[in-house]
Amino acid sequence: MEIRDRYAPSPTGLQHIGGLRTALFNYLFARSAGGTFILRLEDTDRTRYDPAYEQNLYDTFAWLGLAWDEGPRRGGPSAPYVQSERTGLYRKYAEELLEKGGAYRCFCTGERLERVRAEREAARSAETGYDRRCRGLGPEESARRAAAGEGFTIRLRIPLEEEPGGGGGPRVTRFTDKLLGDIEWKNADINPDPVLLKSDGFPTYHLANVVDDHLMGITHVLRAQEWLSSTPLHVILYRAFGWEPPVFCHLPMVMGQDGKKLSKRHGATSIDEFRRAGYLPEALLNYVALLGCSYEEGRDLYSLAELEARFSLDRLNKAPAVFDYKKLEWYNGQYIRMKNSEELAALSLPYAVEGGLFGGGEPGEEQRALYTAAMGLVRERANLLPDIPAKLGYLFSDPAVPPGGELIPKKGGAEGALRSLRLARELIPLLAAADDEEAERLVKERAEGVKLGDFLMPLRAALTGARVSPPLFGSIRLLGARRCLTRIDAALAALEASR
């Protein structure tokens, strides 16, 4: 059997972590099985639809490097893959279900439905949903009222055991979930006779979803467990049409560390937010792929190709997955360290420009070369792309001269700091031309009898404006002897003045 699965988002909001995890698992499952991954837009909610959200979907997939085999902008044998372009199909199948007795016309107005709801609320009734008033209408009366122009919706006839003649179907609906096992759902607990086709001719999610999955040959439906309660209804729909349902697999929920469903209160959730914050697509994919799925013991980092080869439904976990922002940062840091200097400079440059690192605007040729050369100083210390330019300001503009007290080691004095800076000043021409090993040897020779940290601390503060900075010897090489000497002289003057 050829595996065919799909990601079918509604373009009514930005793509978020939960949606990405669903899309990624469907993508990986199709790739691991040599199957077909389909993208379908379920855009029948026209009141909330926004073309910007649709574009966000395409932009997100492009940024992540995920490609669909069939779908919008690509085509395929089941085109169109946008539900608003398939409304004629849904009307056809709703009418077919009417003829089979699996559905019926409902002539109840919105005002009546609201009145029933209000009366139940006032009476504190436990009943919810539609009261099935039109379920007993005979086919002749139903057809006559429709022909007379009376507005109606089409509702699914949920099988009920208590119907006369015993033809109402079983009391429960059973199906097997690939992850959760055998599931049994009381029909009385299913949404009472939900609308399949609205009065404006547009389908509801349930009808369009089932019809499209059937016509597109979907073999496996991988979706979040929040859709589990809709599955009995969908199974009833499949059986009403006489179709074979696909294999269902309801994925574990993605939770915050407080045990509640991941949401904005936990932090960023939209993919755009993570992208703007400086996460790399491969880090996000790697981490999300592990939310509810295990691969190899003792291994954390996987390329997309490796995930495609290793993914299996048998590796899914039943327990909810916990989204850990700190762990994602760690992953991002690992992928930052895999980038060469040219790649890392190109990825982080927009953040440098936005932060005004180059004095406003794009960098000149020399500034760009210096920025690229500086990647080796910060690669090991950055977890997010904005961390990179944030650590490099001292290379592109002179930092403020630290107050005298900031140039003195914690257990030292002004005289010791002055002596260290004067000695370092003599070494600068040599340090600017030496590699790290040679530079360390030179400093140890000259700083004999002084702790290396106490010797270098005043120099670091003088050159970078801070007690903590990227590697000092590399910074000296990039600054050059002349700029270093100018800053040391300013620091010496500040120390002399503070005595």
Beta bridge partners of residue 156, listed in sequence order: 103
Matching residue, tokens 């033809």: 167
Catalytic residue among 264, 318, 327, 451: 264
One-letter amino acid identity for 449?
G
* Cα gap 371→131, rounded to integer Å: 69
Nearest to 262 by CA among 328, 320, 313, 326: 320
Cis amide bond preceding 471, omega within 30: no
Nearest to 459 by CA among 412, 420, 411, 499: 420
Are the beta carbons of 212 and 40 closer than 8 angstroms?
yes
Known catalytic membership, residue 264: yes
HEC sequence for the chain: CCCEEEECCCCCCCCEHHHHHHHHHHHHHHHHCCCEEEECECCCCCCCCCHHHHHHHHHHHHHHCCCCCEECCCECCCCCCEHHHCHHHHHHHHHHHHHHCCEEEECCCHHHHHHHHHHHHHCCCCCCCCCCHHHHCCHHHHHHHHHCCCCCEEEECCCCCCCHHHCCCCCEEEEEECCCEEEEEEHHHCCCCCEEECCCCCECHHHHHHHHHHHCCCCEEEEEHHHHHHHHHHHHHHHHHCCCCCEEEEECCEECCCCCECCHHHCCCEHHHHHHHCCCHHHHHHHHHCCCECCCCCCCCCCHHHHHHHCCHHHECCCCEECCHHHHHHHHHHHHHCCCHHHHHHHHHHHHHHCCCCCCCCCCHHHHHHHHHCHHHHHHHCCCCCHHHHCCHHHHCCCCCCCHHHHCCCCCCHHHHHHHHHHHHHHHHHHCCCCHHHHHHHHHHHCCCCCHHHHHHHHHHHHHCCCCCCCHHHHHHHHCHHHHHHHHHHHHHHHHHHC
Distances (CA, A) of 312 to 26, 27, 29, 158, 448: 11, 11, 7, 35, 61
Tell me which residues are annotated as active site: 264
